[in-house]
Amino acid sequence: MTFDEIAKRAVEVRAKYDELNKRNGVSWNETDLMSGFVGDVGDLSKIIMAKKGLRDMDDVDEKLAHELADCLWSVCVLAHKFGINLGAEFVKTMDGLDKRIDSKLKS
């Protein structure tokens, strides 16, 4: 799956959540989505602590993979909500970081 396909799939799943939430009289805005993302990052932190032996948890590798995917989903959905072409911005950001690091390595 390409990154664009991943981002599109994330938005499709978000649309289904919107439909389900609408049936229950609930609507998530960008702030709510961000709060959900923060919760996912908190869960990711706990799982990484377990991976490093600082917490007790079953199925750590499976949970780590799942939570990383959840976080990516949230980032893709937020980017879409704010009209950001995440693939293009990622390349642009990595190019900038690469140049800055190369500059520092040469000095």
Residues 6 or more apart whose Cβ sits within 8 Å of residue 95: none
CA distance 19 to 15: 6
- What domains sit in the chain, N to C, each tagged with a CATH number? 3-106 (1.10.287)
CA distance 43 to 65: 12
- Give me the pLDDT at residue 97, please: 98
**Structure confidence by residue, pLDDT tens digits, 2-56:** 999 999 999 999 999 999 999 999 999 999 999 999 999 999 999 999 999 999 9
In the chain, the N- to C-terminal Cα span, in Å, equals 39
- Give me the pLDDT at residue 44, please: 98
Residues 6 or more apart whose Cβ sits within 8 Å of residue 28: 17, 18, 21, 36
- CB atoms under 10 Å from CB of 54, counted, come to 10
Q: Which two tokens stand for residue 50?
A: 């377990």
Q: Which two tokens stand for residue 2?
A: 């390409």
